[in-house]
Chain A
């Protein structure tokens, strides 16, 4: 079994904005591209052009439909669709690390990133069972465990321009729904964003203390129908005229003032 560090100097992680994520999968494929070419074994695809293609991904987007509860005396609210990108949350109490029989899974002391040392991984899969989020995937060709590295080979990489030293998924996200930073620093972009927007832990009851935070969707469909009382519900639509001739009179009068 493997031990976790008592604490980490920094707590690097992601803020994922569920109010803005359009579910485009840009992060999924950018991650696939970077991590196929970089850290460890390539992310393979079995039966790539066949009947049951199945590849290793470190980040996937799931979509959930939400039907808000019907409230008394209110029209039934519209159903919603939430896009939910999911990758390793780099938990402070990461059960995937403590379960590892070889020490291949570990949490870095300096920044809290949870990694797999592939040369020590025996592919037993215990860590994937232990992770309550399903964030680890066994590569079917290489038979080693793969997971989000938070692009540890990008974020400090001196061969990249400084502005590119962030995870591939964050750099590519077209909607700006993904943010990277240090949660140990209360003044970091991610700490502030999470505080402002009510950043949430995923499944806090699991006691894993995830570092990544999710920003909840804002309330939706607030421009709702009313009983038709124009003065109260549509104050800006008060008529200037009822029909065309009255409208022309108003036009004439208003033009005079322009």
Chain B
């Protein structure tokens, strides 16, 4: 038998360049193999802290992204009507001059007439710096329509949330519980973690109406009724408190459970925490029986205390919690029907949590010293961990639901302890250590401070002197006081309505607002193209930057073409959304591993030039010349504070971490090191971080804090109570009357659950409709990817067996789906492992004809569809004439997952409805066949 002789050691590549992936938001390290200067293969970087060598389908398909026919090639000036796709290619000089001619007068007269919103931007500390220098209050990224409830609830409650803020202690956890996780978020780390804990037999519980992905491999799947997670969690809180399965020592030492709540109903401070003259929360010390500031050495805070003074009883937060959560309102039997989980199963899950947290508890033999100066010989472990994302947060009750989950974690004593949930630097960082929002504008001047931040009461709202909203998106107003990420989903709607005011220029980056990133897609398209009586566009000017021919391109007047992620500089900065791990601070760069073959420029470099042309102080030298040649120049030379810049690694002579002088060779050092930098937290400092003196000192040294910032976890969130007090009539800043009752109800300082379904007319529309993102796709960037589109080229609507039978449907049939706002007609497929009253589809697979360089008959356009047509940015009218946003009343987060529909069988149309007319592609169409081999 003759076997051919094979070359078993063929040359793999000419060179490997290590950079950071951008096929989704996870920021994994990648090795880009090059042959003849072209990308030959992409694999994960084994040394990288995020992905440790593995890489998902999106990451490996990056090669099809850098050769994508949808890449924009040159700046474009609109020559037809908006939406027509008629453009003229222009030179960069002309493009930058147009932008300058539009923006310079705006800045001189009223900077707030510029709305600058960046979508899936990983350079927010830079883009916000541009906006702040310009002077407009109207800046945010996409957090408001993504997961701000999760981020804000976490920061207000415990100084950090999931994903970029923290992670389970994968090495020690014995029970991992996931709530409503979109499968793309923190994609590789979650998969690695699940693989790791399943390999050692630890249990995974998935709570999600849909059993796909992580929920498919979960040992136990809880197919909950959408929007009721908060009620389920509070029922488990009920069970655990009633059984005394809570960590009393942890609660007494590290949380505000023993803090005393002002019980004087007549006081303007009713419901606030008692504090001493220095503003420190007071607790009753069991050792002395006296009121004592919480941070004193040796204090034994009394969780059960009542402080009686002048005839008034002030009780602890713990007492308020006992009163609320031990109530029969939260028994498993009382909630079972609403959450769709039997009482017995709720109890079985709570029992398992109690068993693992307390029977499988362990100690690490590691000494540490707390902020009170007391040294502990060991670290107490509680091996129960949780993770959650948009599934529970994209509801109008999402903030309180996320709060409930954090309260459950804290009651178990499982945050920042071995086996539990751990923060990643620069977190933990409490709300009080974040900036407050700033909104004061002066013509020709920068804004008075950072746009986004954390409010602590009505005084911090972004209101003008007359009480009207200062921001176009109405962030930080009485409608949604704690809107820490802004409300990008309201910008176009508000700008079109002139509510609260008209704008001149809408400037957006990486945000597909005329398609899958907007609620009410059809309505938004109409707003973008609407003209006033004089024939001018209601939104006069739109500038847009994107790397690809997305649906949004056709609706802009000026297009600034961005590069792909392999052709650019970026920094994944500690000032922004870094890549830290629980045991280390880390940041990373992107750098041009290939040069663009088109006349495109990295958006951030364009802003460096535009900022200089506009004469923005942060972008010009004293002689008026351009300060930063490009983004790389900014990354290396910009300093936020002396010694602190966008990148923490290799500062000074190249060996300083965190703080240090500018190092002109910094980027080269990053490239030598594989594109990232890691600084490990010393042993003994890596758990109990909010209270661990060793960690606090390490963080100060690295420049994460200016001074140690120990704090108590806020089971009781006092800022929320301040808004309630205003609604009750206290203080000078008063909410409008129509919002008083809602503020009183929803801004409860202890987690509550309320049902958003009635406002979404559940009586007429009894089925919940959800979307998920597949693991192999991300937002809209990947859907024209030649390899990935073969995995998810169209998206059926998945129906549970019962709804298929009730509607006499079989696979491949079509159904009309109707919501209070609109209707779509789409193909259906049966799925048994699905909550019986829920339907769902993959998000953002549907494409507009003419976009993304796809053929007009591409399945993405003919069979794919968006649920967005069914979702309005406003709630169905209540008959009071008011516009009620379809958002969380606390943070303004878009309530995507409150969508209620009904379903009926439909005759098969030629293609999914609504079918929108094609837009003209500014880049033509892709090649017929691919056989992409770059080497010989």
* Interface residues in chain A, defined as those with a beta carbon under 8 Å from any beta carbon in chain B: 3, 5, 19-26, 28-30, 32-34, 36-38, 41-55, 57, 65, 67, 75, 78-83, 103, 106, 108-109, 115, 117, 119-120, 141-142, 152-153, 156-160, 163, 168, 171-177, 217-218, 220-228, 230, 233-244, 247-248, 250-252, 254-255, 258
Q: Name A's interface SS.
A: loop
- Identify the interface centre among B195, B218, B354, B776: most chain A CB within 10 Å of its CB: B195
User: Does B242 lie within 8 Å of A247, measured CB to CB?
Assistant: yes
Contact among B4, B10, B354 for A157, CB-based, below 8 A: B10
Closest chain B residue to A157 by CB distance? B9
User: Does B213 lie within 8 Å of A23, measured CB to CB?
Assistant: yes
- Chain B residues within 8 Å of A230, by CB: 347
In the bound complex, what is the Cα–Cα distance between A168 and B41 (angstroms)?
Answer: 11
Q: A237-B242, A258-B249 are in contact. Are A81 and B212 (CB under 8 A)?
A: yes
Min CB distance B538 to A, Å, is 35
Q: A103-B2, A220-B221, A255-B248 are in contact. Are A22 and B191 (CB under 8 A)?
A: yes
Contact among A48, A52, A157, A224 for B929, CB-based, below 8 A: A48
User: Does A81 lie within 8 Å of B216, measured CB to CB?
Assistant: yes
User: Does A49 lie within 8 Å of B348, measured CB to CB?
Assistant: no
User: Does B832 lie within 8 Å of A45, measured CB to CB?
Assistant: no
In the bound complex, what is the Cα–Cα distance between A185 and B911 (angstroms)?
Answer: 55
User: Does A173 lie within 8 Å of B54, measured CB to CB?
Assistant: yes
- Chain A residues within 8 Å of B854, by CB: 49-50
Q: A51-B859, A159-B12, A176-B195 are in contact. Are A236 and B351 (CB under 8 A)?
A: yes
User: Does A33 lie within 8 Å of B790, measured CB to CB?
Assistant: no
User: Does B220 lie within 8 Å of A222, measured CB to CB?
Assistant: yes
In the bound complex, what is the Cα–Cα distance between A48 and B930 (angstroms)?
Answer: 6
User: Does B855 lie within 8 Å of A50, measured CB to CB?
Assistant: yes
- Identify the interface centre among A21, A43, A81: most chain B CB within 10 Å of its CB: A81
Q: A49-B853, A247-B241 are in contact. Are A171 and B53 (CB under 8 A)?
A: yes
Q: A106-B3, A174-B192 are in contact. Are A152 and B8 (CB under 8 A)?
A: yes
Q: A157-B9, A227-B344 are in contact. Are A79 and B211 (CB under 8 A)?
A: yes
28 A–B contact pairs at CB < 8 A? A19-B198, A22-B191, A29-B787, A30-B60, A33-B41, A36-B932, A45-B930, A48-B786, A49-B926, A157-B10, A171-B53, A172-B43, A175-B191, A176-B199, A177-B195, A223-B205, A223-B220, A225-B342, A225-B343, A226-B344, A235-B351, A236-B243, A237-B243, A237-B351, A240-B244, A242-B326, A248-B322, A255-B252
Closest chain B residue to A3 by CB distance? B1
B370 CB-CB contact with A under 8 Å: no
- Identify the interface centre among A29, A47, A57: most chain B CB within 10 Å of its CB: A29
- Chain A residues within 8 Å of B211, by CB: 78-81
Min CB distance A67 to B, Å, is 6
Min CB distance A142 to B, Å, is 7
Contact among B241, B347, B793, B930 for A228, CB-based, below 8 A: B347
In the bound complex, what is the Cα–Cα distance between A141 and B928 (angstroms)?
Answer: 11
Closest chain B residue to A154 by CB distance? B12
Min CB distance A194 to B, Å, is 14
Min CB distance A171 to B, Å, is 7
- Chain A residues within 8 Å of B358, by CB: 236
Min CB distance B834 to A, Å, is 8
Return the CB mask of B321-352 against A: 1 if under 8 Å, else 0: 01100100000000000000011110111111
In the bound complex, what is the Cα–Cα distance between A174 and B248 (angstroms)?
Answer: 38
Return the CB mask of B897-936 against A: 1 if under 8 Å, else 0: 0000000000000000000000000000111111111110
- Chain B residues within 8 Å of A242, by CB: 242, 326
Within 8 A of A (CB), among B198-256: 198-199, 205, 211-214, 216-221, 223, 239-245, 248-249, 252
B61 CB-CB contact with A under 8 Å: yes
Min CB distance A179 to B, Å, is 11
B862 CB-CB contact with A under 8 Å: yes
User: Does B40 lie within 8 Å of A37, measured CB to CB?
Assistant: yes
In the bound complex, what is the Cα–Cα distance between A228 and B239 (angstroms)?
Answer: 13
Contact among A37, A47, A156 for B934, CB-based, below 8 A: A37
- Identify the interface centre among B8, B788, B925, B935: most chain A CB within 10 Å of its CB: B8
User: Does B933 lie within 8 Å of A29, measured CB to CB?
Assistant: no
In the bound complex, what is the Cα–Cα distance between A238 and B790 (angstroms)?
Answer: 53
Closest chain B residue to A80 by CB distance? B833
- Chain A residues within 8 Å of B855, by CB: 47, 49-51
Min CB distance B507 to A, Å, is 30
User: Does B243 lie within 8 Å of A20, measured CB to CB?
Assistant: no
- Chain B residues within 8 Å of A79, by CB: 211, 832-834
In the bound complex, what is the Cα–Cα distance between A115 and B240 (angstroms)?
Answer: 59
- Chain A residues within 8 Å of B933, by CB: 36-37, 42
A-B contacts besides A45-B790, A48-B929, A142-B931, 20 pairs, CB < 8 Å: A20-B195, A20-B198, A25-B775, A33-B41, A36-B933, A37-B35, A45-B929, A52-B859, A67-B832, A157-B9, A158-B9, A171-B53, A172-B44, A172-B54, A176-B192, A222-B220, A237-B242, A244-B326, A251-B248, A251-B318
Min CB distance A44 to B, Å, is 4
- Chain B residues within 8 Å of A32, by CB: 60-61, 787
In the bound complex, what is the Cα–Cα distance between A3 and B358 (angstroms)?
Answer: 62
User: Does A24 lie within 8 Å of B213, measured CB to CB?
Assistant: yes
- Chain A residues within 8 Å of B60, by CB: 26, 29-30, 32-33, 172
